[in-house]
Amino acid sequence: MDIYEALRTRRTVREFKPDLVTDESLGKLLSAARWSPSSRNQQPWRFIVIRDRDTLVKMGETAGSGGFLARAPLAIAIVMDNADQPLMDAGRALQQMELVAWSEGMGTCYVTLTDDQRATIADVLGIPEGPFLVTVIPFGYRHDDFQGRGVPRKPVSELVYAETYGSPFAG
């Protein structure tokens, strides 16, 4: 899929087909993650591939608004180990995965974890002291009748300035 088309059509997906994610699609997701840039090329991410149903259900039960994790065939935990810029680098890898997922007919939705939820899930995943679990992201194929809700965007005039903060951008 064309990159520009991918980012214009991408929608948040919370319900997935039960089909397992193919090795080819999973390989592309992991390549997208690994090929993401990182601060000083530290490559400080660790990705845990989770397909075990019990683990997915346990995480879904823990994750509050991220209950859809329990109904995904796959989740990938993003763990940052000794990173200069853990959240920035995690966000960049996540976005590469999200765009590739979309182009592969899949989808995902970001899961925000509270500190308590994070600690419980880190325990389930056997993450030792030190590495930081950012989040766990579900992946699965979209239903055939998936209709993404278009999320309205703020107008350019509100989001984009020219030269200095607050100055109108004319294009």
Which residues between 143 and 162 bind its own copies (CB under 8 A)? 151, 153-154, 156, 159-162
Q: Which of 43, 41, 19, 39 is nearest to 30 (CA)?
A: 43
Q: How far apart are CA 154 and CA 160, in angstroms?
A: 10
- Binding test (CB under 8 A) with its own copies, winner from 32, 59, 83, 137: 32
Nearest distance in Å: CB 55, its own copies:
7
Residue 30 binds to its own copies (criterion: CB under 8 A): yes
Residue 125 binds to its own copies (criterion: CB under 8 A): yes
Residues 6+ apart with CB under 8 A from 57: 70
Nearest distance in Å: CB 40, its own copies:
8
Q: How far is CA 164 from CA 9, 153, 158, 160, 161, in A?
A: 31, 22, 13, 10, 7
Question: Which residue's CB is nearer to its own copies, number 20 or number 160?
Answer: 160
Residue 98 binds to its own copies (criterion: CB under 8 A): yes
Nearest distance in Å: CB 103, its own copies:
5
Q: How far is CA 128 from CA 64, 93, 121, 137, 145, in A?
A: 23, 22, 12, 20, 41
Nearest distance in Å: CB 143, its own copies:
20
Question: Which residue's CB is nearer to its own copies, number 6 or number 71?
Answer: 6
**Residues in 33-52 at the binding interface with its own copies, rule: CB under 8 A:** 33-37, 39, 41, 43, 45-52
